[in-house]
Structure 1
Amino acid sequence: MSTGKTQVLWTFDGWELVRNLIIERLPEWAELRIVDSTKRLQDQVADTEVIIPTTGPLPAEVVAAAPKLKLILQPAAGYSNIPLEAAKARGIPVCNAPGVNARAVAEATIMVLLMLARRAPENQAVFQAGKVGGPLGVQLEGRTLGVIGMGAIGQQVAELGEALGMKCLGLDSKSSRQDWRTCSGQLML
């Protein structure tokens, strides 16, 4: 079923906005196919040269079943769903987009933090009932925010927390066990 074009397989039934951007910008010599979720993934990769796994799992068996595979392209920051050893063994490069959504994830993290601190669902119920009373929840200014993982997202979470007047403590994967005990109000970058 080869069309003579480079076969690119989108392996996840989702992320329509990103997928549509890729389709709009795809060169004429390439063709994007969407995975058929009713079939096994490894049965759909025989002619595939590029796999875009997004957030779905990409088992090593799929890489093994794709003899023409030349690239695994992750349009997200992480690659924990990609079998790196299987790709490396075949000499297949794996690319991702580090930091691509860091600000959005950091803002969503702060949104959840604010909703929890201010007890948003309870405040909404009080407001909708037309009741008057003191605000529910706690103020974040002056509180301490612990950020575990100081990559692109963690750094921006800490930055936003500091903008809210919070004291931020940060530890990353390179921090020693001693750092956990001795971190004293300083952002560890």
Structure 2
Amino acid sequence: MGVILVTSRSFSDGDVDLVERASRAGHRILRGPAHHDLEELRSLLHGADAWIAGTGEVTEAHLAAAPKLKVIARYGVGTEAVDLDAAGRRGIPVTNTPGANADAVADHAVGLMLSMLRFIPDGDRRVRDGDWAVRRGRELGAATVGIVGFGRIGQGVAKRLSGFGSRILAADPYLPTDLVRANGAEPVELDELFRHADVITLHAPGGQLLVDAGRLAGMRRGTVLVNTARGDLVEEAAIADALRDGILAGFAADTLYGDTAATHSPLLAADLADRVIVTPHLGAQTTQAVDNMGSLSLDDVIAVLKGAEPAHPVTAR
């Protein structure tokens, strides 16, 4: 019997009983903390044959504490928190779950666009305070929407926007222009997208700064910016300044830099509450996405523990 350490909070929390599936395959699920604190994980890692890892860091020190470890399955898409080089040196394959939550995140991104353009959260707050004054919004179908990063999620956003009638721009240096056009968007360079879009939605990988004071200065006034990707893609202080100056009409995000440690983010200032929407990583939290991510990660773990190749390997950058 293999021991599978799971440090994702939502693993097997959907409609599919993945714990039972693991048991049928001859393995036992062992739960660990999602923050990946090494001292709390050390004894669990020591006996683990596989690790289905959440968003916390997976460092060389973690791997050194896991002498039996044969595979790390990242529960999600991003692998920037995993030391892929250290895993490679130890011969431990790393996998992820590409596309498992793409529909869920695309839905959420469009929901944030609508919420910002039509002042939905602010309207709810004001009605509860007895204020029924109307704020005039904008229609999504009348907007030019720029999609930064045109992978599965970005393409899913474009598909949803086609029903609204929006003009869609897409910037992605890794995709051929004919593929971008085939998925309903006009391919443009990143700076051109920022100059011409009314709404900009970020779906690029983390580890890079895409929105800083310089790029904000080149936007048209009244732009709405949405970030359901990674908190480090934006310079939060510059975003706050742009909101106060009217360059940005609104900012909506499913993440902030540092996440739960971001309680002092400049974007949470009281005077910006009517122009900022922040959700606590709800993008991938649908029953369907949870089932998809759990199933893909568990299937790859079971494959490796049987001596087979995983379906979704990730290589070092």
Tell me if 1:95 matches 2:95: yes
Aligned-partner Cα distance in 1 for 2:192–2:138: 27
Match of 2:190 among 180, 185, 188: 180
Letter in 2 for 1:52: I
Aligned-partner Cα distance in 2 for 1:149–1:31: 38
Deviations 1:73-105, CA, capped at 9 Å, x for gaps:
123222222211111111111111100010000
Equivalent residue for 1:52? 52
Aligned-partner Cα distance in 2 for 1:57–1:142: 42
Structure 1 residues 125 and 52: alpha-carbon distance in aligned structure 2, compared to 1, 3 A threshold: closer
Equivalent residue for 2:41? 41
Equivalent residue for 2:29? 32
Equivalent residue for 1:9? 5
Structure 1 residues 58 and 88: alpha-carbon distance in aligned structure 2, compared to 1, 3 A threshold: same
Aligned-partner Cα distance in 2 for 1:18–1:173: 35
More deviation in 152-161 or 27-36?
27-36
Unaligned residue ranges in structure 1 (runs of 5+): none
Aligned-partner Cα distance in 2 for 1:59–1:180: 33
Letter in 2 for 1:33: L
TM, length-normalised to structure 2? 0.50
Aligned-partner Cα distance in 2 for 1:98–1:82: 16
Residue 138 of structure 1 and its aligned partner are, at CA, apart by 1.1
Aligned-partner Cα distance in 2 for 1:182–1:6: 52
Do the aligned residues in 2 keep the contact of 1:150 with 1:171 (CA within 8 Å)? yes
Do the aligned residues in 1 keep the contact of 2:76 with 2:97 (CA within 8 Å)? yes
Letter in 2 for 1:31: R
TM, length-normalised to structure 1? 0.80
Aligned-partner Cα distance in 2 for 1:19–1:57: 28
Instruction: Give the secondary-structure state (helix, strand or coil) at the position aligned to 1:165.
Output: coil
Instruction: Give the secondary-structure state (helix, strand or coil) at the position aligned to 2:142.
Output: coil
Do the aligned residues in 1 keep the contact of 2:45 with 2:66 (CA within 8 Å)? yes
Do the aligned residues in 1 keep the contact of 2:119 with 2:135 (CA within 8 Å)? no
Instruction: Give the secondary-structure state (helix, strand or coil) at the position aligned to 1:42.
Output: helix
Equivalent residue for 2:104? 104
Structure 1 residues 127 and 40: alpha-carbon distance in aligned structure 2, compared to 1, 3 A threshold: closer
Aligned-partner Cα distance in 2 for 1:180–1:56: 30
Percent identity between matched residues is: 28
Map residues 75-86 of structure 1 onto 2, 5 A cutoff: 75-86=75-86
Letter in 2 for 1:45: L
Deviations 1:97-143, CA, capped at 9 Å, x for gaps:
10001000000011011000000123335666484x76631111121
Instruction: Give the secondary-structure state (helix, strand or coil) at the position aligned to 1:168.
Output: strand
Equivalent residue for 2:72? 72
Unaligned residue ranges in structure 2 (runs of 5+): 176-187, 198-317
Letter in 2 for 1:68: K
Aligned-partner Cα distance in 2 for 1:151–1:63: 31
Aligned-partner Cα distance in 1 for 2:20–2:40: 27
More deviation in 107-116 or 19-28?
19-28
Q: Paired residues, what number?
A: 178
Letter in 1 for 2:30: R
Do the aligned residues in 2 keep the contact of 1:42 with 1:61 (CA within 8 Å)? no
Aligned-partner Cα distance in 2 for 1:145–1:71: 40
Aligned-partner Cα distance in 2 for 1:122–1:180: 31
Residue 182 of structure 1 and its aligned partner are, at CA, apart by 5.8
